[in-house]
Structure 1
Amino acid sequence: MKFNAPWFYRNKQFKRALGLLAFSSLSFAAIAEPLDKSKMQFIGPLAEDMQLKPFQTPHGSAIINNLLPQLQANSDSFSIFGKKQSWQPFNKVSALTLGGLQALKFNIETVRFTQGTLTLKGVENGQLFINGEPQKGDNNSYKLALTNSTHSVIILAQQVANWNDVVIDFTPKSDTDKITLNTSYTKRLSAKQLFDAPTMSNISLAPNAEQYITTKRTYDDKTQNKANLVTELKNTDNSTIYRFEDGQPSNIIWSPDNQYLVYLLKGELKQLNRKSLAIKTLANDLAGASGFTFFNDTSLVFSWSKSPESSNNLTKHYKGLQDRWSYARTTSQLYMLDTKSGLTKALSQGPLSHSFEDLNSTRGKVLMSRSVMAMQASTHPETELVELDIKSNKLLSLGKFKTFNQAKYANKDVYVVAGPDFKNGAGRALPKSMLANNYDGQLYLLTNNGKNVTALSKQFDPSIGQLSVLENGDAVLKVTEKDTQPLYLFDLSKQRFKKLNTSVDIVEKFSVSHGRNSQVLITGTSALAPQQLKRLNISKNKTDLIWDSKPIAYANTTIPTLEEFNFTNKSGVEITGRVYVPSNLDKTKKYPALVYYYGGTSPVTRGFTGRYPFNLWAENGYVVYVVQPTGATGFGQKFSAQHVNAWGDYTADDIIEGTQAFLKQYDYVDNTKVGNLGASYGGFMTMLLATKTDLFSASISHAGISNLTSYWGEGWWGYLYSGEASKNSFPWNNADLYSQHSPVFHADKVTTPLLLIHGDSDTNVPVGESLTMYTALKLLNKDVELIEYKGADHQIFARDKRFNWWNTMLAYFDKKLKDEPQWWDSMYENK
C-alpha cells in the first residue's frame, strides 16, 4: 500500500515555514551574563579575627541563620563585636582575601515569572539566600524560579581567594527570562509579607481599662505552618507587665473587681493576680470546657462539652439532618465554678445543648439559647431563648425563634440580633411581595419577659453583627456597612445610632471596658493600610494609636493605589465598587484586569489582606475591580433581599454591567484580557457567568457550586443556606430554579477557559461540585483545569497551601491573560 502524506507536508511553502519555525525555536542559546557589581553592596570583613569560620564548626548553619536577619535589615550599617560595619558598593572593593565573613546584598527585580541559573564564581565557600530562604545549589550554581516581584538576595561568603575574581553570572532559561538588579530599600508587596506580618490575633481590655492583653501572631520560614504566638499583659502606657512564656493562654477573662486575670493553659484554669503576678490553679481536667466568664467576683460560668465515645461500628444510623455534622452528637451544658473551693455545679441539663448568651449578676440571671429539638428537619431550625434564675433554678422561656443570632441583657430587657423575620417579621422594612434575607442582621429589644418586641434598626441599613452592652444599657455594635465594618453606639434611651470614629475601614476585633467612661480596644485594617491596634474613648469619640504593623512589616514597600468606582445598574440602583491600581502603572500601556465579587451574601470588605489578596494581585500587574453586586448585606434590606430565590439573576447582570462600565472608564485596561474569580457562592457565580457571557478571557472558581440540588442535599449546611437563598423553594416544587440556575445544566454554553479549585475535604461545598462541572466540560472538550487541595476544607488556611494557592491563581491568569505560561507549566504541566 502506498502512503500518501497530507497535502501540507508536500507543500513547499509549508516546508519552508516549518523550517523557519524550527530555526527560530532553536535560535536562542542561553548565555551567561555577569551581573553588574555596581548594583550590589558589599560588607566585610565581619569578625576578621575569628579563628574558625562557621563552616569549620559543628554549628555553622545556626551561626549563619542568626546573622542573616541583620544582613537583611534595611540599614546602611550595623555593629559586630563593637566594630561598626558599613555596606559599600561592590564595584569599589579591591581586596584580595579577607578574614572573617563577607556578604553581598542586592535585589533582583522581575516583571514576570523568571527562570535561570545563578552562578557564584570565585567563591570557595558561600551560601545564597533569596527572600531569607537558603537556596540549594551544585558547585555554587543555583537554579532559580522567581515570581513577579522584588527578591532580596544575600550571598554570604566564608572563603574567597581573591575578591577581584568574584563574578556572579545569571544564565536565563529562555529569552523571556530577564532580571534587573538594584540596591534600593524599596520593594514590591509580597505574599510572604501579607501572611507572615505580625498581627494581633487576640485582644482584651480590663473592666477598669487600666490594663489590656494582646496576643501577637507571626509566621516564618522556620516554623512554617505553626504560628508564633506571644501573649502579654500591658499597662495603659503600653509597657509590658507580664509575658506568658510557658505556653500560650486562651479564654482570657478579667474579674469584675479588677484583681485577677483568669485563663486556660494546658488544660488547667489559672488565676493571675494583677498586682502581685502570683499564679494559682483553680481547676484541672477541663477537657471540652470553653467560654469562661465571671458571674461575680468569685464564680465563673462556662460551657462544658461532652462527645460520645468513639465507635468502630460498621454502620451509622442517622438521627436527623444535622447528624451529618461531625459534632452533631456532642452536647454542651452550662456550669458554674466557685473560684474559692473549686466546686463546679451544672446550670443546665438534658439531651439539648445549651449555649451561653449573657448574664446579669445583679438580678441573678443567666441567658441561654438552645435548639427546640436535637435533630430538626427544617430549613430554619427553631432556637429557644431561656432565662435561668440562679437561686431558684427556674427556667423562663422568652420565646422560640426561626431566626436568631445572639442575645445580650440591656438592664432588665434583652437585646437580640436576628434577621428581619424575627418575631413574625417585626424587623421587616420590605414590600409585602419580597422575601427577607435573614443573613441581614437586625437589632431588637425584648421587654416584658419576651412578650413584647421593638425593632430598633428597621431604618438602619447596615447589617448588625457583634454586640457588646455598656453598664447604662447602651450597646457597641460591629456592623457591615456597605464594604466596611465600623463600630456604632446605640443609645438606648434615645434609640438612635451613632458612628464611632475608629479610623479604620474594617474593625476586626474589639473589647469594651465597663466603667463610666467606657473605652474600646480595637484591631483593624483599611484597604491600603495593614493592621493597627487602637484605643477609643466612647464619650469623646476619639481614637489613639497604640501599635501599627506597617513600619514593622511593610516599611519601604510599594502599595497599590485605590479608586472608588460606582455605577448605576439597569434597575436604577447604585452598585458600588473599588479599583486597585498597580503602583508602577504606565497609562500608555495596556493592562490585564481581574474582577472579584462576594461569596455567600456578605460584601467584599476593605480589609488589607485576607484569603484573596487584591493588593498583591495589583502589584503583579493586574488592575483589580472589586464589585458589590445586588444581594449583599450592608446596603439595606431591599438590596439584600434580592439574593433570595435568585441564584445569580441580579448578581450576574450587575457583574456584567459593572465590568462593561469599568472597561469603558479604564481605557488602559485591555478588554481582551479580563479575568474573573470568586469563591463559594462567588465560585458558583464564576461558573454561572461562564454560561452567560464571553466577556471574560479566563475564570477561576474556588469551592463553587455547579448543581444546586446536590449542594442543597450534600453540603453540611447546604439545606440551611438554601433556606435563605432558595427560600420556600425545593427540587420538587421549583425544579426550574434548581436546574436552570445550576451551571452544569448549561455547560455546553461555556466558552471561557475555566480553572476549578477545591479542597478535597470541603464539608460546606463538597468537592463533587467541582468534579461535576469538570466532568461536563471535559466531555464537551472545553478548556478546563481542576486543582484539588489535599486535606483542605472550604478555605485554605495552612501557610504552605496558602502560598501554593495564591501562586496557582496568579500563574493561571498569567498564562491566560499575559500569554506567559511558564509559571503554570513549572507548577503543573511539567510535573
Structure 2
Amino acid sequence: MIFRTAVTLLLSAVATQLVAAPLDESKIQFIGPLGTQSTIKPHNTPHQKSIINNLLPQLQKPNQKLEVFGNTRSWQSLEQVNALTVNGMQALRFNFSTTRFVEGTLALSGIEKAHVFLNGEPLTGKSEFSIHAVTGDHQVIIITEQVDDWKKVVIDYTPKAGHDEIVLTQKTTTALSAKQLYDAPTISAISLSPNGKFYVATERHYQANRKNAAISNTSLRNIEGDVLYRLSGVAASQVSWSPDSNAIVFTQDKRVSILNIKDFSIKTVAEHFTGASGYQFFDEDTLIFSWSNTPDDKHTLVKHYSGLEDRWSYARSISQPFLLDVKSGLVSTISESKLSTRIADFDNERNTVLVTRNPVDYAAPPHMLTQLVEIDLSNHTEKMLGEYRTFNRAKYTDKGIYVIAGPDFSQGLGRNLPKDMLANNYDGQLYLLNNDGEKPQALSKKFDPAIGGLQVLSNGDAVLNVTDKDTKQLYLYDESKRRFKKLNTGFDVVERYSVSDSKKGQVLVTGSQASSPQALSLVTVKRNKTKVLWDSKPVAYDNSEIAALEEFNFTNESGTQISGRVYLPHNLDTSKKHPALIYYYGGTSPVSRGFTGRYPFNLWAAQGYVVYVVQPTGATGFGQEFSAKHVNAWGEHTADDIIQGTNEFLKAYPFVDKNRLGNLGASYGGFMTMLLATKTDLFSASIAHAGISNITSYWGQGWWGYLYSGEASKNSFPWNNPSLYSQHSPVFHADKVTTPLLLVHGDADTNVPPGESHNMYTALKLLGQDVELIEYKGADHQIIVRDRRFHWWDTMLAYFDMHLKDQPQWWDHIYSK
C-alpha cells in the first residue's frame, strides 16, 4: 500500500511504559478530494469557519457517497487509499464505543491543518485534542486542509487512565444519545383547516453548529402532504383559519396578515398592535383578538403590592377582547371591564362571545374566583352565567355550554367520592350548562380519565384530551348517546391536536409512545381509523438501540393497584448485577409515557441503568378517589407507595443491585426526594430538582404556592394545621438524612423559589451530611435551553455514575475542584 498511516491506540496511561496497539485502518473511513482540483483551502479565505461548519452535517450522515460540485466522492476504508497526495480537502471519520465516561488525548502528526469534531462539536487544539466521551457510541470527524505527506500521518489516542479505553466499531446500530433526543426533528405546532383539506405544521430541529438556535420551518400543506406555501418566521400555533377554509390569519414582523389559500395573495390588515395576540376569524370578514395594556407604575423605588396576584409579573396587565373589520381596518372593543377579560369561545351565529374574569376573592380555596360571562354583541349587554371556585375552560355547543372543571364545580355536582373525602379539583370533569337555564349536568362522574381540554364539533360532539392513567389520549364525547369513546391515535402520549368540522370529522395529532419517537397522524373520527403522515423514527432514529419496556404494577398496602413501567438497557446481561434509577412525580399528574422529555428514561437506560417509573397515589387519570388522596397528604401515601414499589421492583428484577439504587424527582417530585431521604435509607444517591423543602415558605412565596396549596392543603393553613406544614416538610427532619443528596435548582425559579433547595442545603451542611447544590444561572422552573439541558442531563448522570458505579471521573470533569 503506497499510502499508509501509523495509527495507534495507546491502551494504558497507568504503566510506566505505555503499550501501543495499531488502530484497525479498516475501521477508519476516508473521503476526498472535497472540492475542485484547486489548491485554495478554506483557511486561505476569511470564511473558513462557515465553510467547514456548512460541510460538517453532510460528513456526519451515514451516507457512503457525497456529491461535490458534480462529482461523486465515496467513503472508503483508510487501508484502501493508495494516493500519495490528494488535492483540496479530505476527511477522515471513525466511530467508537465506550462502556463508561472516558478521557484521553487525540494526537495528530503529519497533518498541518485539521479541524476535529466529536459528535459534531469542535475540539480545540492544533495537533492534540482532548476527548471526553460518555457511555455510548461516538463519531470523530477530521477535516484536513493541508497534508504534505500522507505517509507521515500518525493519529494516536492516549487514555488518561487504564479504564479510558475506546473501541473502534462499525456497528450498524447506535446507542441513543442526548443530542439525538434533543436535536431530532419534531412537529412543534399544527393547525388543521375546518374542512380537513389543509393543515399548517411547524417542524423544528437543532444542529450542533447552530448551538441554542432552533431551526424552524412552517409550511401550508394539503392533506396529502404536498407543500403549498411556506410561512417564514411564523409558528402554526399562531395561525387561525377562516370558517370556509379559504384563508388563514397570522402575525409576522409586527404585521397581521391574511393569506388567501386560492391564489396565495397576502393582505395586511393591521400593523404595530403592540400587546395584541390570538387573532381568530369571528366570521369571514371579522377578526376577534385580545389586546393587553400594562399601565405605567408611578413608583420607581418601590412596588406596592395590590394583592397576592401581584407576585405574577403580568398581574397588572389588563387584557380585553376586540373585533377587527378586515375590509376597513376599524377596531371595536367588546368589553370595557376593569378586570382582564379573556375569550373562552364565540359564536358568530348567536353573535355572542363567552369570556372569563377573575375578581380578587380569597374567601375559599383555592382562593380564586372565575366569572363566566356571555356578551351579546347585538346590544352589548353582558349576562353573568356563574361564579366558580373551580374552572378550567368553556366551549359552546348546540345545547348550551360545555365546561371543564373539577369535581366541586357547581356545589360539588361532579363529585364521585365518599362524603368525607375532599376532592382534587385538578381532576378535570365535563359539564353541560343548558340553554334552557336548568341545573348544569355532570357528564363524566363515572369517567376515570381527567379531562384537560376539548374541541366541539358542529353536531355537538366533543373531542376531549384527557389524562388516562399514565397516558395522554383523545376521546370523543357523543352528545346524543352521552357516551365516551377512545379515539385510536396510535400514541401513548398525545402532544398536540387540531380538529376539523368536516363531515368525516378529522383530528390532526402529534404524539409518541414510550418506546417510539414522535409522529404526525390523521384520525378519522367516524371510522376511528388513523393514517400516519410523518414519522421521525426513520428520519432521526433509524438503527437506534431503544430500551426494552415492561409494565410493572403492584398492589399497595391499602389494596390499590399502583402502575409503573421498567426500561431495560439494550442487550442487558441479566447474569450480572446492575444499578437502577427510580423516578416519580407524586403531584397531581402521573409521569407520562413520552418517548423523551425533560427526564429522558430511554437515555438513562442507554447509559446502563435499569429505570423504574412508579405512579404513586394521588395522581389524576386513575379516578377521583385515587386523585383525592393527594389532598392534605403531602407525601403521606406517596412515600409509602414509592418505598413499597421499589422493594417489589427489586423482588421482580433480581439482576438489579439493591445497593446501587438512585432516586430522583422534580418539583413535587423533588419534594418527594427530600422527604424520602428522611424516611428511608433504601437509596444510595438521590437527586431533587426544584423541590419543596418547607411547605410554609412555598405556600407563601411560590408563584402558584397559595393556589396549589388551596388544593394540596385544602382548608389547612399554618395557623390551623401547623403539624401538616412542619412535620411534612423535609427540612424539619433533615437530621434523619443519611443518603448523599444532590439539589438542583434554577436561580430564577419563580414557581418553586431556589430558597427551597437552600433550606435543605443549609441544614445538611450544618449536619455534616453529603450534599451538593447546583444552581443554573438565569433558569426558571425548567431547564429548557439546549446547552443548559445537556449540562443538566450530564450533571444528573455523572452524579449517579459517581455514587452507583463508583466512577467519579465524569463528575470531577464537570465540577473540577
In terms of mean alpha carbon deviation, does 215-224 or 736-745 score higher? 215-224
- Say whether 1:486 aligns with 2:469: no
Shift of the 204–756 alpha-carbon distance from structure 1 to 2, 3 Å rule, reads: same
CA distance in 2, matches of 1:726, 1:575: 23
Shift of the 546–391 alpha-carbon distance from structure 1 to 2, 3 Å rule, reads: same
- Say whether 1:87 aligns with 2:75: yes
Tell me what 1:383 maps to.
370
- Say whether 1:214 aligns with 2:197: no
In terms of mean alpha carbon deviation, does 543-552 or 82-91 score higher? 82-91
Tell me what 1:797 maps to.
784
Structure 1 contact 77–84 (Cα < 8 Å) conserved: yes
Equivalent residue for 1:807, pick from 791, 794, 814: 794
- Say whether 1:124 aligns with 2:112: yes
Tell me what 2:532 maps to.
545
Equivalent residue for 1:781, pick from 768, 780, 789: 768
Tell me what 1:133 maps to.
121
Equivalent residue runs for 1:738-777 within 5 Å? 738-777=725-764
Deviations 1:461-508 (A, max 9, x none): 000011000000100000000111110000001100000000011111
Residue 611 of structure 1 deviates from its aligned partner by: 0.5
CA distance in 1, matches of 2:311, 2:32: 64
Shift of the 599–243 alpha-carbon distance from structure 1 to 2, 3 Å rule, reads: farther
CA distance in 2, matches of 1:219, 1:65: 14
Tell me what 2:92 maps to.
104
Residue 584 of structure 1 deviates from its aligned partner by: 2.7
CA distance in 2, matches of 1:635, 1:128: 52
Tell me what 2:187 maps to.
200
Tell me what 2:568 maps to.
581
CA distance in 1, matches of 2:17, 2:270: 72
In terms of mean alpha carbon deviation, does 628-637 or 34-43 score higher? 34-43
**Secondary structure, in 3 states, of the residue corresponding to 1:829?**
coil
**Secondary structure, in 3 states, of the residue corresponding to 1:809?**
helix
Question: Structure 2 counterpart of 1:428, which letter?
Answer: R
Question: Structure 1 counterpart of 2:402, which letter?
Answer: Y
Question: Structure 2 counterpart of 1:549, which letter?
Answer: S
Tell me what 1:15 maps to.
none
Structure 1 contact 577–626 (Cα < 8 Å) conserved: yes
Structure 2 contact 289–322 (Cα < 8 Å) conserved: yes
CA distance in 1, matches of 2:262, 2:721: 65
Tell me what 1:115 maps to.
103
Tell me what 2:4 maps to.
none
Residue 32 of structure 1 deviates from its aligned partner by: 5.9
Structure 2 contact 340–357 (Cα < 8 Å) conserved: yes
Question: Structure 2 counterpart of 1:106, which letter?
Answer: F
Tell me what 1:3 maps to.
none
CA distance in 2, matches of 1:817, 1:412: 60
Equivalent residue runs for 1:167-566 within 5 Å? 167-245=154-232, 251-310=238-297, 313-373=300-360, 379-448=366-435, 451-566=438-553
- Say whether 1:41 aligns with 2:29: yes
Structure 1 contact 482–635 (Cα < 8 Å) conserved: yes
Deviations 1:684-732 (A, max 9, x none): 0000000000000000000000011111111111011011111111111
Deviations 1:555-585 (A, max 9, x none): 2211111111111111111101001111131
CA distance in 1, matches of 2:658, 2:16: 32
Deviations 1:270-291 (A, max 9, x none): 0111011011111112111112
**Secondary structure, in 3 states, of the residue corresponding to 2:239?**
strand
Structure 1 contact 405–416 (Cα < 8 Å) conserved: yes
Tell me what 1:75 maps to.
63
Question: Structure 1 counterpart of 2:63, which letter?
Answer: S
Structure 2 contact 449–468 (Cα < 8 Å) conserved: yes
**Secondary structure, in 3 states, of the residue corresponding to 1:584?**
coil
Question: Structure 2 counterpart of 1:745, which letter?
Answer: F
CA distance in 1, matches of 2:17, 2:189: 55
Tell me what 2:597 maps to.
610
In terms of mean alpha carbon deviation, does 704-713 or 450-459 score higher? 450-459
Equivalent residue for 2:694, pick from 692, 707, 715: 707
CA distance in 2, matches of 1:647, 1:655: 14
**Secondary structure, in 3 states, of the residue corresponding to 1:659?**
helix
CA distance in 2, matches of 1:26, 1:337: 75
- TM-score computed with the length of structure 2 as normaliser: 0.96
Question: Structure 2 counterpart of 1:69, which letter?
Answer: P
Structure 2 contact 202–236 (Cα < 8 Å) conserved: no
Structure 2 contact 667–752 (Cα < 8 Å) conserved: yes
CA distance in 2, matches of 1:473, 1:406: 16
Structure 2 contact 494–511 (Cα < 8 Å) conserved: yes
Structure 2 contact 365–715 (Cα < 8 Å) conserved: no
Tell me what 1:8 maps to.
none
Residue 163 of structure 1 deviates from its aligned partner by: 2.7
Residue 48 of structure 1 deviates from its aligned partner by: 6.0
**Secondary structure, in 3 states, of the residue corresponding to 1:207?**
coil
Residue 376 of structure 1 deviates from its aligned partner by: 7.7
**Secondary structure, in 3 states, of the residue corresponding to 1:123?**
coil
In terms of mean alpha carbon deviation, does 768-777 or 151-160 score higher? 151-160
Residue 102 of structure 1 deviates from its aligned partner by: 2.1
Tell me what 2:588 maps to.
601
CA distance in 2, matches of 1:51, 1:179: 35
Structure 2 contact 106–158 (Cα < 8 Å) conserved: yes
Residue 226 of structure 1 deviates from its aligned partner by: 2.2
Question: Structure 2 counterpart of 1:812, which letter?
Answer: Y
Tell me what 2:6 maps to.
none
Instruction: Give unpaired runs (5+ residues) of structure 2.
Output: 1-11
Deviations 1:421-466 (A, max 9, x none): 0001100000001110000000011114655111111000000011
CA distance in 2, matches of 1:332, 1:42: 61
CA distance in 2, matches of 1:376, 1:723: 11
**Secondary structure, in 3 states, of the residue corresponding to 1:663?**
helix
Shift of the 677–320 alpha-carbon distance from structure 1 to 2, 3 Å rule, reads: same
**Secondary structure, in 3 states, of the residue corresponding to 1:586?**
coil
- TM-score computed with the length of structure 1 as normaliser: 0.95
In terms of mean alpha carbon deviation, does 260-269 or 646-655 score higher? 260-269
Deviations 1:120-171 (A, max 9, x none): 1222222211111221113x11011112221111112222233333221111
Percent of matched pairs sharing the same residue: 60
CA distance in 2, matches of 1:468, 1:502: 16
Structure 2 contact 290–319 (Cα < 8 Å) conserved: yes
In terms of mean alpha carbon deviation, does 220-229 or 717-726 score higher? 220-229
CA distance in 1, matches of 2:109, 2:353: 74
Deviations 1:355-391 (A, max 9, x none): 1111111111111111133888863311011111110
Structure 1 contact 33–171 (Cα < 8 Å) conserved: no
Structure 2 contact 493–593 (Cα < 8 Å) conserved: yes
Structure 2 contact 190–236 (Cα < 8 Å) conserved: no
Structure 1 contact 352–373 (Cα < 8 Å) conserved: no
Residue 109 of structure 1 deviates from its aligned partner by: 1.0
Deviations 1:609-634 (A, max 9, x none): 11101010000000000000000000
- Say whether 1:736 aligns with 2:723: yes
Question: Structure 2 counterpart of 1:45, which letter?
Answer: P
Residue 787 of structure 1 deviates from its aligned partner by: 0.3
In terms of mean alpha carbon deviation, does 35-44 or 543-552 score higher? 35-44
Structure 1 contact 533–546 (Cα < 8 Å) conserved: yes
Equivalent residue for 2:644, pick from 657, 676, 679: 657
- Say whether 1:694 aligns with 2:685: no
In terms of mean alpha carbon deviation, does 580-589 or 718-727 score higher? 580-589
Question: Structure 2 counterpart of 1:345, which letter?
Answer: S
**Secondary structure, in 3 states, of the residue corresponding to 1:486?**
strand
Residue 248 of structure 1 deviates from its aligned partner by: 5.7
CA distance in 2, matches of 1:35, 1:168: 9
How many residue pairs end up in the alignment?
806
